[in-house]
Amino acid sequence: MSTPRAALSAKEVQAFHRTLSNWGRFGPRDQLGTLNLITPEKRVAAARLVRSGRTVSAARPLPTQPSIENPNPVAHHMIGTATEGWGGDYFAIAPHGFATSHIDALCHIFHEGTLYNGYPIEKVSAHGALELGIHELRNGVLSRGVLLDVPRVRAVPYLESGEPIFPDDLERAEQDAGLRVEAGDVLLVRTGRWALRAARGPWDARVSAAGLDASCLPWLHARGVAALGCDGVSDVIPSRIEGVQLPIHTVAIVALGLHLLDNLELEPLAKACIDEGRWEFLFMLAPLVLERGTASPVNPIALF
């Protein structure tokens, strides 16, 4: 367990919407937020990290069974079988939540009547997201990926549910990995959620989950993180801040323009990093081109 620390106030978190804002930084019509920090030069440098050719998926299987952590399971229906003389299926997916590996579009979270970059929330309508939709990522996300394994530096197999991660935890994980998170990186943070689940069984992550404390937000902004992924939902739950439920989601998406990847499978990646002796890799992500969508299920790939 980490040392108990005073929580930020709701007023301090509210101030982040001003002090950490990237509104206008990438232009008045920007649709990509901090993904703009992934330059062509950054992609070329990331490609040079490929040495062994080993690939690792960071996705969970699409969750088709209802459970306490998955009240909206993926619907998978067979529409072609031996009876019909061909193989075919139909999927219906509600990607948001605590079970499906997905990336949030920047239209996903509202704050005080606005979306990222000042777009009004009315841009998200019954016809989908007219701004900041997930289709804006049609060209994919490729950059240096970095895994920070917080349980590893705390010498535990997993963090306890509801345990917060602080900036100094991230910096200790950097030191352990022998690297520094830099502008344009895709940062993946392991809490050990799925190792905890394997040991004790499923629980309602809407009530309690390990994740980043709100005090990490200035750190993410200062480092220029391009996208943030976690085996949870990045936010620690409960947030420890009265009246503010998901400060990482709210400030990161609306103020920073930072895309979040939720419910990733980071256990195989953590093992691969140990085997390869490095915690950086070429990160590749190709969201579905869903016009006006608020999210996409994903299968991120790390290439060593």
Cα torsion 108, 111, 116, 121 to 10°: value is 70
Q: What is the predicted pLDDT for the residue at 224?
A: 98
Written as one letter, the residue type at 143 is S
45 within 8 A of 144, measured Cβ to Cβ? yes
Whether 116 and 85 have beta carbons less than 8 Å apart is answered as: no
- Predicted pLDDT of residue 96: 97
Which two three-digit tokens encode residue 275?
Answer: 């085997």
**Separation CA 181–CA 5 (nearest Å):** 24
Distances (CA, A) of 53 to 168, 179, 183, 243, 298: 32, 21, 25, 47, 21
Residue 3 has a pLDDT of: 65
Largest CA distance in the chain: 63
Which among 182, 162, 178 has a CA at the least distance from the CA of 273? 178
Encoded tokens for 81: 């079988």
Round to whole Å and give the CA distance between 197 and 291: 35
pLDDT in the model for residue 6: 87
How confident is the model at residue 5, as a pLDDT?
85
pLDDT at site 2:
58
| Predicted confidence pLDDT, tens digits, the chain (304 residues) | 556 688 999 999 999 999 999 999 999 999 999 999 999 999 999 999 999 999 999 999 999 999 999 999 999 999 999 999 999 999 999 999 999 999 999 999 999 999 999 999 999 999 999 999 999 999 999 999 999 999 999 999 999 999 999 999 999 999 999 999 999 999 999 999 999 999 999 999 999 999 999 999 999 999 999 999 999 999 999 999 999 999 999 999 999 999 999 999 999 999 999 999 999 999 999 999 999 999 999 999 999 9
* Residues whose CB falls within 8 Å of the CB of residue 124, separated by 6 or more in sequence, listed in order: 107, 110, 115, 130, 294
Decide: residue 128, CB within 10 A, 0-12 exposed, 13-18 middle, 19+ buried.
middle
For residue 44, what are the CA distances in angstroms to 50, 52, 142, 283? 11, 17, 9, 12
Q: List the structure tokens of 85.
A: 């003389």
Number of H helices, E strands in the chain: 8, 15
Q: Alpha-carbon distance 51 to 281, whole Å?
A: 9
Residue 110 contacts residue 83 (beta carbons within 8 Å): no
